[in-house]
């Protein structure tokens, strides 16, 4: 993970529509959501990260999930084309922020759906990308070409895990955790360079794979003690945080953190 990240305070966060199976109209406790986000921000501050902020726009409740804004690499940012109309206005606000902060922005062809680091990870000169629900395979090919990265594409099969960052997380150069029910056996074999640790169904539903990893620190959604212990036994410091209010929208920690 890079040491520079972008966060968005949940000033107007809510669940006001449904664009994934997690969004069931359950009321958000906004006071608790802010408390949970502040705890995340505080913990990330202890990791010695360069934390940047974008202001949330009223009427764009999912803007708090900054990972979906695009993908940044070598001062270039490819801005997302959100699949659902409810989120499309976010793109302009993110683009303006990156322009104001000195980044070179690249727009995708409008016909291609792409949801940024919700569906891609840059790792060892590779673009590991998930497609099938929110991001098009053609978009992954376009992004990898623009960023001059080798593409490893993974088809997502389970609508509950509609973004790659909900079902796969790289821990280090040789280790990753994943939800086996989100991929076919053929797809997961493409990740042959990793030792892959499976999360349980319960851990997958607790968004264990939506963890933030920085050096030997792992910030993980709570109620994932089994996988946390496995990683702790391998020398990682694992911190668990309650993200109940954000899971109501189908997101958690990694969804709220964009590496820039």
Catalytic residues: 163, 255
Secondary structure (3-state) at 205: helix
User: Sheet holding 120-123: strands in order across?
Assistant: 120-123, 126-131, 150-155
| CA–CA separation, 63 and 90 (whole Å) | 6
Q: How far apart are CA 257 and CA 255, in angstroms?
A: 6
H helix and E strand count, the chain: 7, 15
Are 208 and 199 spatial neighbours (Cβ–Cβ below 8 Å)? yes
**DSSP per residue, 36-103:** HHHHHHHHHHHTT-EEEE-PPPTT-GGGG-GGGGEEEETTEEEEPB-SSGGGTTHHHHHHHHHHHTTP
């Amino acid at each position: 993970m890079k040491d520079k990240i972008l966060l968005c305070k949940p000033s107007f966060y809510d669940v006001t529509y449904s664009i994934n199976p997690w969004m069931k109209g359950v009321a958000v406790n906004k006071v608790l959501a802010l408390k949970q986000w502040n705890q995340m921000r505080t913990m990330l501050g202890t990791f010695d990260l360069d934390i940047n902020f974008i202001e949330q726009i009223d009427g764009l409740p999912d803007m708090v999930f900054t990972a979906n804004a695009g993908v940044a690499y070598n001062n270039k940012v490819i801005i997302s084309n959100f699949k659902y109309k409810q989120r499309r206005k976010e793109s302009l606000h993110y683009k303006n922020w990156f322009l104001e902060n000195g980044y070179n922005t690249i727009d995708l062809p409008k016909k291609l759906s792409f949801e940024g680091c919700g569906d891609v990870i840059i790792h060892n000169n590779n673009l590991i990308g998930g497609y099938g629900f929110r991001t098009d395979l053609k978009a992954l090919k376009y992004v990898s070409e623009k960023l001059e990265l080798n593409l490893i594409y993974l088809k997502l099969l389970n609508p509950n895990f509609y973004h790659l960052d909900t079902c796969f997380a790289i821990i280090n150069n040789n280790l990753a955790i994943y939800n086996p029910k989100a991929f076919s056996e053929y797809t997961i074999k493409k990740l042959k360079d990793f030792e892959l640790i499976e999360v349980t169904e319960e851990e997958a539903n607790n968004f264990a794979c939506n963890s933030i990893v920085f050096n030997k620190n792992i910030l993980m959604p709570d109620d994932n003690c089994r996988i946390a212990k496995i990683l702790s036994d391998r020398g990682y410091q694992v911190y668990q945080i309650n993200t109940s209010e954000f899971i109501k929208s189908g997101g958690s920690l990694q969804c709220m953190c964009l590496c820039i």
